[in-house]
Structure 1
């Protein structure tokens, strides 16, 4: 029995210290995939640490000092997780008054369909239910484009690019599009959509639909981060208010997303509203927000919706926005020159890495 207790305490210690170390790794400003991946499951790590701290407390009588040290480390890490996640709890009632003129509304829907998922009509049903003005679709192939073709009757302004891989992208819009381009931001090999959406008032706003590659064993987070930062710079250099929407393969508290928002002066409507995880739709436990709609001052969010599962590993995500006078919206500070230069340096490193890989 003595050895069994020691074994259980040892397992608690190993699990707790592993989570503490993973949290420390996430603080390292590196684009190595196995470091950046630790940014994703913060809520799950926090829950696990809380349970492990309670379990370790059961051993205070027998292993007093070891238990106290372990509990202290886990609680310190738990406090850090709480500080990171606190802005994404529904504490502030952050959404705007829903009294917005119809001609100033802009509803944006994002859905990663998962390339291997069968297009059985469930997604189209949700598009018709939520009635987005702009619909960004990720991981599309020719089969998915054929299945989504009926949307063009009500959303005639379209652009798409298939890739033969997981990074096909399409955009369907009820509203006119202008200066639409498929661009390979930061020299990366995944297509992104850069366009202008004409609101019902006649005003044009910038719109970016993006889907960078995620960090995983065969690639670092550098390309992803460079695309996010380039998106921020595009909005920074424009005089029009803008919106960024897509599967960013990044959580809102990650360093790259924070820098993108700072550069583009972007608002995350989840902050003060709620966590709204959109991935993994096929897991009840390992879920975090990867799909986003960010906007500049000049917009406010009226409603956020996580749609229903439709066979993909992502849930659809809908943000209903209102075009407001900038003085009515929260003003964002301009980024300092160091932040801008760091972004340009990251983009240049990504371009060089891509060139090196292509020539090797």
Structure 2
């Protein structure tokens, strides 16, 4: 038995099992991210095992079996974000101009100074609503050139990598900037009025990630997602939540958000739309998200070209179609999910009542 192959198999198994533990430490939660990379590693390892080991030995088949189970487990999480899965959100058939709107979500990266490249993208795709993350005062000065076409705005320039701006062609009403869990991590909340006059409740989020350089645990991020999810669960309003959630689409905590909120993910059955890291093709995952209530169908969703940030921008066009979307269903919360969510919120001493509930005037 070749020792390096045994060690590699044990490491693959450990990386696969670690996220099953709900501990919020960054190392545990971080193993949710590279599932595609771990699936690729498992495939390569199986090939090496078949070529290099004695197939007449039961130990060889034990190692191959472990690797196959790890591969299947990693693919289980990723497969919903492929065209081989049934779409969670219906495709818009006949979009009405006054009932459709587009949202561009972009982490611009504070040190990135390629504002011209980014503004060129914004002008090219002409979103109805633009939300930027990590935008500071320097970025605000450049983004303000959009005011002629996007006269409605919310601004929170910060130098701590958590600044946030929203610019909109559509009226923004009942706007509020909140610090839901951490004193220096803002979120934005507003009611957007569509051209048809229909109001849409929107929440723009950018919680801090679990990492050795920021929060050592995911507790703060998870708490923000939980309380926003619980705040929109029983709302009969059309709802959109978007932003850089510093969590991948398939993680247990993002799935918990979807279960609690009842919101849908338009990427399911359409694609992964990896938005980070823009500079490293082999180390990418979907960190920027848009979730919405059943009131919408999706007209298009795309990842935009590189503009100098470590993130790609995500452009989503939705159509307000409550009659067609009323039978759309996402994930359902079970008792264990609700208990887990309650413990996350209580640990940070926050609740759904802390989340603004914007309503049209």
Partner residue, 2:307: 310
Q: Work out whether 1:101 is the aligned partner of 2:59.
A: no
1:153-302 counterparts in 2 under 5 A? 153-187=148-182, 189-217=184-212, 218-219=214-215, 220-302=217-299
Partner residue, 1:3: none
Structure 1 segments unaligned to the other structure (5+ residues):
1-5, 353-360
Whether the aligned pair in 2 keeps the contact of 1:135 and 1:171 (CA below 8 Å) is yes
Q: Work out whether 1:91 is the aligned partner of 2:84.
A: yes
Q: Work out whether 1:322 is the aligned partner of 2:319.
A: yes
Q: Work out whether 1:36 is the aligned partner of 2:29.
A: yes
Instruction: Please list the CA deviations of residues 188-238 of structure 1 after superposition, one character each: whole Å capped at 9, or x if unmatched.
Output: 530000111011111111101100000101421000011111111221243
CA distance in 2, matches of 1:55, 1:339: 39
Whether the aligned pair in 1 keeps the contact of 2:258 and 2:331 (CA below 8 Å) is no
Q: CA shift at 1:255, angstroms?
A: 1.5
TM-score computed with the length of structure 2 as normaliser: 0.90
Q: CA shift at 1:351, angstroms?
A: 3.4
CA distance in 2, matches of 1:189, 1:63: 60
CA distance in 1, matches of 2:280, 2:50: 30
Q: CA shift at 1:341, angstroms?
A: 5.0
TM-score computed with the length of structure 1 as normaliser: 0.91
Q: CA shift at 1:333, angstroms?
A: 7.3
Q: CA shift at 1:68, angstroms?
A: 1.8
Q: CA shift at 1:62, angstroms?
A: 7.6
Q: CA shift at 1:342, angstroms?
A: 3.7
CA distance in 2, matches of 1:98, 1:166: 39
Q: CA shift at 1:61, angstroms?
A: 2.4
Partner residue, 2:343: 345
CA distance in 2, matches of 1:259, 1:233: 10
Give the SS at the match of 1:185: coil
CA distance in 1, matches of 2:241, 2:193: 15
> Residue 13 of structure 1 is aligned with which of 6, 9, 16?
6
- Larger fraction in helix: 1
When structure 1 is superposed on structure 2, of 335-344 and 301-310 the one drifting more is 335-344
Partner residue, 2:58: 65
CA distance in 1, matches of 2:50, 2:190: 56
Give the SS at the match of 2:147: helix
CA distance in 2, matches of 1:63, 1:13: 17
Partner residue, 2:126: 131
Whether the aligned pair in 1 keeps the contact of 2:264 and 2:329 (CA below 8 Å) is no
CA distance in 2, matches of 1:333, 1:77: 24
When structure 1 is superposed on structure 2, of 235-244 and 274-283 the one drifting more is 235-244
Aligned residues, how many? 345
Give the SS at the match of 1:121: helix
Q: CA shift at 1:331, angstroms?
A: 3.9
CA distance in 2, matches of 1:86, 1:347: 30
Going from structure 1 to structure 2, the CA distance change for 1:26 and 1:338 (only over 3 Å counts) comes to: closer
Give the SS at the match of 1:266: coil
Whether the aligned pair in 2 keeps the contact of 1:206 and 1:235 (CA below 8 Å) is no
> Residue 152 of structure 1 is aligned with which of 147, 155, 163?
147
CA distance in 2, matches of 1:200, 1:208: 19
> Residue 108 of structure 2 is aligned with which of 105, 113, 118?
113
